[in-house]
Amino acid sequence: MTLKCDLQYGRGNAGYKLSRVGVRGVRKPVLVQRQGINNTLNNILNCSIDIFVDLPAEQKGSHMSRNVEVLNEVVEESVSHPITGLEDMAADMCRRLLVHHEYAQTADVTIIAEYFRNSRTPLGRDTYEMYNLMAGGHIERDGALTKKIGVEVVGMTACPCGQQTVTEMLEYPEGLTVMTHNQRNVCTLTLEFPEDISIEADDLIDVVEASFSSSTYELLKRPDEGQVIINAHRNPKFVEDVVRSALENLVARFPDLPDEVYVDVASESEESIHKHNAFAEREGFLGELRGENQ
């Protein structure tokens, strides 16, 4: 018996085009070419994946199981040929989606995953830190394919204004590094760019980590803890400053990237003195950014 539900190809109850139709939150481990915990070349990233195509007005439904089939194809091939980056995997999936959904004009893939890598404390101790990666792809039939890569990094901010206020209130002498409120900060940096460009997530993590008052670490023995506190207080930053430092580091790190790369940097401070958060964000083309800060 060949069972075939042809309902999807029928005309629906209302002939509106749909911008995106698909599946969300498919969990899948993926083998990537990246240093793993056992010092092998390849590492496993546990991904959560969203996959969509658009749908023309005259078709009732999208074939959602094809999205999962495309995902599985790509992931299975990763076992013999580990993928070079999550954004490349997203791009690969976008292309195949347009083949499997012959009626679709666009395809969108978004992938998020936890990622671990080595770091080093101020006094030189090795640590292993956690980051979140975001990758994506968007394709237009007869059009270009754009890729996206983003990182989410947790760091620390110490407030410059609190420091100045306390200095005045307690009439501290000039030059003393003064207490202030400090807190956990979550900063994301996302780039969107044409398919032929390659950008390393590790470089983006570096750009963001250098933008906080201080990085944070899983393990700090006493002198390292003191050093982190001192470093952060000698480098006080608003959320605005974190975003701008990330922009500055980004511009300096990637002189060869084209102007049309789209940049989004957001920093959120889980304020220790408030129950709510402070937030700053900049979106814009790399070309604009290059023109601004000269």
Question: Which residue lies nearer to a copy of itself by CB, 127 or 195?
Answer: 127
Q: Which residues pair with 43 in a beta bridge?
A: 32
DSSP characters for 78-139? HHHS-BS-HHHHHHHHHHHHHHH-TT-SEEEEEEEEEEEEEEE-TTS-EEEEEEEEEEEEEE
Smallest distance, Å, CB 197 to a copy of itself? 22
Cα separation, 233 vs 107, whole angstroms: 47
- Amino acid at position 3, single letter: L
Instruction: Return the number of the residue (6 or 196) whose C-beta is nearest a copy of itself.
Output: 6
Residue 195 or 231 having the CB closest to a copy of itself: 231
For residue 105, the one-letter residue type is Q
What is the closest distance, in whole angstroms, from the C-beta atom of residue 196 to a copy of itself in the complex? 27
Among residues 10 and 198, whose Cβ is nearest to a copy of itself?
Answer: 10
H or E stretch covering 286: helix 286-292
Q: How many CB atoms lie within 10 A of CB 15?
A: 11
**Is residue 73 within 8 Å of 96, Cβ to Cβ?**
yes
Q: Work out how close the CB of 149 gets to a copy of itself at its nearest, in angstroms, rounded to a whole number.
A: 20
Question: 239: helix, coil or strand?
Answer: helix
Q: How far is the CB of 255 from a copy of itself (least distance, A)?
A: 16
Decide: residue 151, CB within 10 A, 0-12 exposed, 13-18 middle, 19+ buried: buried
Closer by beta carbon to a copy of itself, 61 or else 195:
61
Nearer to a copy of itself, 170 or 198 (CB): 170
Q: Do residues 121 and 127 lie in contact, with contact meaning Cβ atoms separated by under 8 Å?
A: yes
H or E element, residue 290: helix 286-292
CB of 201 to a copy of itself, least distance (A): 16
| Nearest distance, CB of residue 261 and a copy of itself, angstroms | 15
What distance in Å separates the CA atoms of residue 6 and residue 4, rounded to the nearest whole number? 6
- As measured in angstroms, the least distance from the Cβ of 190 to a copy of itself is 13
Q: Which of 17/198 has CB closer to a copy of itself?
A: 17
